[in-house]
Structure 1
Amino acid sequence: MLERELKLAAPQGFDLPDLAQVTADVASADVVTQKLNTTYFDTRDLRLTRWGCSLRYRIGQGWTVKLPGPLESNGDVLVRGEHVFQGDPQKPPPPALDLLTAYLRRGQVHPVVRLRTIRQMITLRANDGSPLAETVQDDVAVLDGRKISTRFREIEVELKEAAPDTLLPAIFERLSVAGAGAPDPTPKVVRALGNRAQRPPELEVEEPAPEATAGMVLRRALGLAVIRLLRHDAGIRLGTDPEDVHQARVAVRRLRSHLRTFLPLMDIEWAISLRQELGWLADELGAVRDADVLMDGLRKHAAALAPRDRGAGAKILALIAVQRESAMSRLSETIHSPRYVDLLKRLVDSARAPQLAPIAAESGLLTLPPLVASLWRNVRAKVDDFGQEPDDTQLHKLRIRTKRCRYAAEAVAPIIGRGARTFARAAADLQEVLGEHHDAVVAMQWLRDHAASGTLTFVAGQFSALELVTANSARARWPQAWRAFDRKKLRTWM
């Protein structure tokens, strides 16, 4: 479940106001007082807390894991994934620890702080009685053995799944009028642990200045991709959103691309070895993602089938589902293997301190553009080799090379500026058209291999015809996207 939460300071003397009918969506408000006893678990270096995660046991409620939300900031609203487990109060349940694998890797957790909280809670309900939001005032005591080491107060507003986004600003306004303090997204565990918990995570990405070295720019590019992979690991384990597999695959592709493009900046043996190991993970992620893309495309076609053909359409989709399930089973084995955990550790260490060649200490403005220009020349050479009508394989190879250009331009954009960003956008436009073509070609080949006989033949033919239309449309559009990408003014910075 994705948690949408707003935290506010609660000054002395503050009392929660009446929130009944704060908006037209709210029909009633229930008020209760609770006593909560909570123990937070973390590694000795507070790895979870510093990454924005938490693992806690609360008497009467069980275990809760909170995971960082989307990479994009949502202002003062704290968006996190929340997952509840039951188990022994003294020992975190394995499924809870499993969700935290990307951050813990082989780190061991133990109790780090205990809190005793008096909570006054207002539950806002809709007309049908379903909860829309909880607004709480917490008086928190941080315990040191049996003694209280410090106290603090805070207000939390948590929207439930059915709540409209407009409810949160309305509650915030009502609380502000009543005297609540400014928004403060600091989690309780961070307040309780103090300065140690406020240190940055073990992998932190800094924006390079224009005078940054090539190594600094590379470190940022590697760090962003590794963080993306870590953020989506838990989602893959949960298996509820195919986008997690997609984003993890993108992260791995970017890493492999950077290790290839910027190889002159690194220790060659180190970079090649890491890239090869990422290839193992890329294959497993790719098998699942390819099935998802195929399913998405053919599902749209199936929805438009005549009623008499829908049974055959459903059988074709079922074949893809079986293929996807098998690929997901292999991916699950992969991410639960010691080899994968070793790779995660290696990636974090590599992003923090990549093994660089002496040239990486030189100016990024001087060193990096020629590396991107080399990629561009490879793309240009590929197009120059095309005949009047490039075949499907040639277009696919062009897409791969274009993607490398895009990733490289995006990596150097922080110091190059608008020129690199514009070049990257043009590359992305061409990549998108070529991607549409490739997906359609793959779908047609899959239909020939798996559904071109027996009772599925007729519907498979309909699907193939629709995919052929998509492929031909993309084939007709790619020259225009190429001409837009081939403009000289996009490369003046190289």
Structure 2
Amino acid sequence: MAQTKRQLEIERKYDAERDFRMPDLSGLPGVAAVSGPRTHQLVANYFDTDDHRLAACGITLRRRRGGQDAGWHLKIPAGPDGKIELHAPLGRPQVVPARLASLVAAQTRGAALRPVAALETERTVVDLLDADGRVLAEVADDAVIGQVIDPVVTGDAEPPPMTAWREIEVELGPAGTPELLKAAGRLLKKAGARKAGSSAKLGRVLEPVMAVPFNGGRTRPAALPRRTAGAAVLGYLAEQVDAVLAFDPKARLAEFDAVHRMRVATRRIRSALKSYAPVLDAGRIEALEPELQWLAEVLGEVRDLEVLRMRFTDRLARPYGLDVAGTPSWLEGLAQQEKSAYRRLNAHLKSDRYFALLDALDALFTDPPLGERADRDAAKELPKLVDRQWRRLAGKYAAITTAEDPEEARHDVRKAAKRTRYAAELAAAALRDLDPGRAEAAKRTAADAKRLQEVLGGYQDGVIAMDWLRGAAAERNTTSSEAFVLGALYGVERCEALESLSHLEETWEQVNA
């Protein structure tokens, strides 16, 4: 198929009565002219699973005919007013393009996608232009008719009646600003429009038949007393699971930093399950540990190569006196390794193992694995568990001097510092309103652990870089000039790694002062 097109869509929607009159838009800030109106007839079929998993997450997948962008459209939430929109050609009416289907695999998890609703829209569009003729925003006045066409919902009964409404949509153009978006909203409201009841047209049509509200989410924690340790841990876990799901499609698209942030969310889940195990049922969460470790490693293969590529690219751009013309073959080889790792990652993210892990994470909230200490006061219980992690970290640090392998011991300290940091961040967020004093103490603990983690991280990153450079020099048929550059970079990495390590003892004394 043709390459999938992607864009960031920032828009706001407003409901309007049938007799609503569009106000004069020419007075909006920065608007020098308003284009003549254009009218389109749009016909769209929306696709989802039997239980409307995409709609529950605020995701829409449609095939639309008419207008200037006919084809398949996938919209994924990206902030309060934004959506990542991906396009693909019209193709076959009942066959979702494989690329788009793969981007929602974390939600569908093997379930079939099929038509669930049909919408017909008469759209009248004007462009708001600046003095140079650039598009600041597009304002669409939509008369919509929608109907559920879901056989699972309707069965043998007559389909639900059609729903008709009018909607005004303001979408920022390439030259538009958030200030214009707000000003347009104020003007429309003054003229009688009101904020739309749903963030997407599909939500209005499916609302009568959905088990959860459109964009209601699928990983919300069960209702627990607000002040309990169990509520705090589940709330934090829900945020991290949501982050995994949010960054999943971005990681598949190889967006900048997406794999890193998905990996961090995975590690935070794993860390919380360990640090706050006394609040949970150990027997029920035990099986999650190896699966979360597996996912972190799968993401880590890509992330480690990505970091190395960016690190060496940055090194070569610095004034180290290295005469490097173009991109060295060894750096091109590293980029190819990264691409291969992305292909393996995408295969893993389509696997039954990954889907089973996501199901298990959902079960944390549909059937919480709470332990005997879950109903204890969070303000008392969470600080105790943070202190336990700090004592564990101190023990790991003390063991460095007697360890047979100091390198491995330092690595253990770094991992312990990371776990302590995540545990303290959970407590700080949970206690912010419940006990500001203890929240501030947890925040300081998180900052101290982060300092230690960063010192050891700087050293560890240098060690990993040196290992790769050594391997590249040994395995590749390098020219003498390439060998010189690899050796020079090795020297830079070694110096900086040792410099980071030299601050370890001083940093430990400072965070324990």
- The reply on whether 1:79 has 2:82 as its aligned counterpart is yes
| Displacement of 1:287 | 0.8
**Aligned counterparts of 1:457 and 1:265: Cα–Cα separation in 2:** 54
Change (3 A) 1:147 1:404: closer
| Displacement of 1:206 | 7.3
Change (3 A) 1:181 1:359: closer
Structure 2 length as normaliser, TM-score?
0.83
Change (3 A) 1:113 1:144: closer
CA contact (8 A) 1:21 1:27 kept: no
Aligned match for 2:232, one of 217, 224, 227: 217
> Which stretch of the first structure deviates more once superposed, 203-212 or 285-294?
203-212
How many aligned positions are there? 479
Say what the alpha-carbon RMSD is for the aligned residues.
3.1
Equivalence map 1:82-231=2 (5 Å): 82-85=85-88, 86-125=90-129, 131-143=135-147, 149-176=162-189, 178-182=191-195, 186-195=199-208, 196=210, 198=213, 200-205=216-221, 211-212=227-228, 214-231=229-246
Aligned match for 2:439, one of 417, 422, 426: 417
> Which stretch of the first structure deviates more once superposed, 359-368 or 153-162?
359-368
**Aligned counterparts of 2:223 and 2:32: Cα–Cα separation in 1:** 44
**1:414-436: per-residue Cα shift (whole Å, max 9, x none)?**
04533222322332233233322
**Aligned counterparts of 1:484 and 1:119: Cα–Cα separation in 2:** 64
- Secondary structure in structure 2 of the residue aligned to 1:356: coil
**Aligned counterparts of 1:356 and 1:380: Cα–Cα separation in 2:** 29
Change (3 A) 1:14 1:425: farther
**Aligned counterparts of 2:303 and 2:160: Cα–Cα separation in 1:** 53
Change (3 A) 1:182 1:333: closer
- Secondary structure in structure 1 of the residue aligned to 2:165: strand
**Aligned counterparts of 2:455 and 2:9: Cα–Cα separation in 1:** 36
**1:363-416: per-residue Cα shift (whole Å, max 9, x none)?**
444444333222111111222334499955443322210110011122233045
Change (3 A) 1:28 1:11: closer
Instruction: Give the counterpart letter for 2:239 in structure 1.
Output: L
CA contact (8 A) 1:27 1:124 kept: yes
Q: Which residue of 2 aligns with 1:460?
A: 486
Change (3 A) 1:427 1:147: closer
Instruction: Give the counterpart letter for 2:337 in structure 1.
Output: Q
| Displacement of 1:97 | 1.8
Q: Which residue of 1 aligns with 2:3?
A: none
Equivalence map 1:335-414=2 (5 Å): 335-387=349-401, 392-413=407-428, 414=430
| Displacement of 1:447 | 1.3
| Displacement of 1:250 | 0.7
Change (3 A) 1:62 1:358: same
Structure 1 length as normaliser, TM-score?
0.86
| Displacement of 1:188 | 1.4
**1:304-327: per-residue Cα shift (whole Å, max 9, x none)?**
257972237633321321221222
Q: Which residue of 2 aligns with 1:69?
A: 78
| Displacement of 1:6 | 1.4
| Displacement of 1:334 | 0.9
Change (3 A) 1:318 1:21: farther
**Aligned counterparts of 2:406 and 2:175: Cα–Cα separation in 1:** 50
Change (3 A) 1:480 1:320: same
Q: Which residue of 2 aligns with 1:439?
A: 461
| Displacement of 1:173 | 4.8
CA contact (8 A) 2:473 2:486 kept: yes
Aligned match for 1:41, one of 22, 43, 47: 47
**Aligned counterparts of 1:435 and 1:484: Cα–Cα separation in 2:** 18
Q: Which residue of 1 aligns with 2:156?
A: none
Unmatched 5+ stretches in structure 1: 488-494
Change (3 A) 1:183 1:354: closer
Equivalence map 1:468-479=2 (5 Å): 468-479=494-505
> Which stretch of the first structure deviates more once superposed, 225-234 or 473-482?
473-482
| Displacement of 1:449 | 2.0
**1:110-138: per-residue Cα shift (whole Å, max 9, x none)?**
33322222211112356776644211111
Change (3 A) 1:315 1:289: same
Q: Which residue of 2 aligns with 1:485?
A: 511
CA contact (8 A) 1:207 1:220 kept: no
CA contact (8 A) 1:291 1:320 kept: yes
CA contact (8 A) 1:6 1:185 kept: no
Change (3 A) 1:147 1:276: closer
Change (3 A) 1:439 1:100: same
Change (3 A) 1:438 1:356: same
Aligned match for 1:4, one of 6, 10, 27: 10
Instruction: Give the counterpart letter for 1:111 in structure 2.
Output: P
Change (3 A) 1:308 1:411: closer
| Displacement of 1:67 | 0.9
CA contact (8 A) 2:222 2:365 kept: no
**Aligned counterparts of 1:166 and 1:359: Cα–Cα separation in 2:** 49
- Secondary structure in structure 1 of the residue aligned to 2:112: coil
**Aligned counterparts of 2:102 and 2:18: Cα–Cα separation in 1:** 40
**1:60-86: per-residue Cα shift (whole Å, max 9, x none)?**
31221111214xxx4xxx111111123
- The reply on whether 1:322 has 2:336 as its aligned counterpart is yes
| Displacement of 1:170 | 4.4
| Displacement of 1:164 | 4.2
Unmatched 5+ stretches in structure 2: 1-6, 150-158, 432-437
Instruction: Give the counterpart letter for 1:40 in structure 2.
Output: Y
CA contact (8 A) 1:226 1:351 kept: no
| Displacement of 1:262 | 2.6
**Aligned counterparts of 1:150 and 1:272: Cα–Cα separation in 2:** 48
CA contact (8 A) 1:219 1:352 kept: no
